[in-house]
Amino acid sequence: MIIFILGGLFFFSVGTIGILRFPDLLTRVHSAAKCDTLGALLCLAALMVYSGFSFVSFKLLLVMIFLWITNPTATHLISKAAFIKEEKNKKLME
């Protein structure tokens, strides 16, 4: 259980460093999304181990599936919107 929590904290920390160090929005969003998804899944896995085989662990599994689907989707949409806006701004400058 401790390994899952430490792994989750590691990925959250790496994502935070990536947000602070990367130069543009797309690389920052990429860093945050990958590390946030994996960190949250590891922390939820630790909670599942802690709660044992129960209805609570089933709920945590549903939350994990929800995060696994929605976090990359939301990141993709945010990145796509930022990219389209940047392309429109480039066309206006020409």
Q: Rounded to 5, what percent of the chain is helix, strand, coil?
A: 90, 0, 10
Q: What is the pLDDT of residue 76?
A: 93
Q: What is the secondary structure of 20-79 as a DSSP string?
A: HH-SSHHHHHHHHHHHHHHHHHHHHHHHHHHH-SSHHHHHHHHHHHHHHHHHHHHHHHHH
State the Cα–Cα distance between residues 81 and 5, nearest whole angstrom. Answer: 33
User: Looking at the predicted structure, is the pLDDT value of residue 91 above 80?
Assistant: no
HEC letters along 72-91: HHHHHHHHHHHHHHHHHHHH
The predicted pLDDT at position 94 comes to: 61
The model's pLDDT over 3-57, given as tens digits with 9 standing for 90+, comes to 999 999 999 999 999 999 999 888 899 999 999 999 999 999 999 999 998 999 9
| pTM flag (> 0.75) | yes
